[in-house]
Amino acid sequence: MISWLKRCAIEGEDHLRYSPGVRRWLSRWQWLRHAYANPSDDQARARSLRALCAAARLAPPELGPRCIEGIREQLRGLKLAAVDWSEFVLNLNTRRIGRGVFLKPYINEREKGVLFVSFEHEWFRLFNYCNLEDFSQRYTLVVAPSGDPHNIVNYVFPTVYPGTIFTLISHPEEVDILPRVAPNYAVVPLYASSWVHPGFYKPLPRSRRDIDLVMVANFAKFKRHHALFKAIRNMPVSLRILLIGQDQDSRTADTILSIAACYGVRERLQLLSNASYEVVADALCRSRASVIVSRREGSCVVIAESLFADTPAALLENAAIGSRVFINASTGRLLREGNLAAQLVDFIAESDRYSPRVWAEERISCFRSSALLNDIVKKHALAAGQEWTCDLAPLCWRPDPCLVTPEDRQRMTIAQEDVRQRFNLEIG
């Protein structure tokens, strides 16, 4: 009875979290509460701005343009220098941009360097600690958002950045949304999941794969482990199922195992916690199939990693996940949440007929993506009257941004030292 009640609570909360009606109501309530408020100071105005961003994330797509205009109107009345941004942006008390990497050093006044930074709280440190006018004269900035475009950094940062910001996307619709958020965003139609290095994955022959199904997902609620556990209850006991994840939002491996016990499947799976990148890559290369049961998140890099491991991947058919665009007849399957168990059993049984790595190498490798980014930034620079004598260094994700070759990493130390001396910032 206790396990049944816990399952009801978990599934009830999940239903409310993703219910279109509930989300619409919460969005409207947040909007009415904050859009017409008259905060007494700029800190309170920033809190209202954050609340409006949350309302926009909950709003249905047809209300997107109206939400964007309302947020931008609220932003126009905000004195940014008067706000303590540490209340809204994580880890601002450091001058290290750890998830940043130079793709090109500064050449001269006619040819800028290029800096790539992922995660909003990382690139916001530029605003917090350096003279952006001086920085933008020496470097072009490329950013990789972590998820939904309606967050306070995505709105605030481009208003103070004196130039073009090249931005990746997390979902296909952001090609249209991000320029509305800020006119100086130049959209690059690539995802955080577009930078996997094929050489990091050595797929095993199908006959030697000893894992039937793997799910690589952090332990946060939005990963919805319970949905997989509910399916496992109705799947053959003989299946070898592996979960790999890391602590998130105060949830640990013990949290996940406790939920699995509620569904009576604790003994039917293995779990690896906080594993290294190499261990994750090896597990993907040993698996017959992989699955993600989130309903909404960013680009989800592990989907692309699974494809390069030559392991077909499954997502929910209505999942708002960027890498969903990678799923097709060659790479995997889109699942309905109803009767998930039978679909997963069929998917595992038919996994040998897919050829995900061939498809991925032709379309989404780090080398192809680096070439596309280079072309976009180069064309913009030349159109602006700048010079271009040096291409961008190839970039890959492992699991954070890094350069492909040791020679390029060595070559970029001059840019790291330049920024350290001029702006007192550590990059990488």
Q: What is the pLDDT of residues 403-424, one digit of tens each?
A: 999 999 999 999 999 999 999 9
pLDDT value at residue 147: 84
Which structure tokens are listed for 224?
Answer: 């919805």
Looking at domain 198-363, its CATH class is alpha beta
Residue 237 CB: number of other CB atoms within 10 A? 8
What predicted TM-score, i.e. pTM, was given to this entire model? Answer: 0.94
- The length of the chain in residues reads 428
- Using a 10 angstrom Cβ sphere, with 0-12 exposed, 13-18 middle and 19 or more buried, the burial of residue 183 is exposed
Q: What is the pLDDT of residues 284-313, one digit of tens each?
A: 999 999 999 999 999 999 999 999 999 999
Q: What is the pLDDT of residues 384-397, one digit of tens each?
A: 999 999 999 999 99
Which whole-number Å values give the CA distances from 202 to 178, 194, 197, 311, in the listed order? 37, 18, 11, 11
| 279 pLDDT higher than 90 | yes
Boundaries of every domain in the chain: 19-82, 90-191+367-427, 198-363
Does residue 394 have a cis peptide bond before it, meaning omega lies within 30 degrees of 0? Answer: no
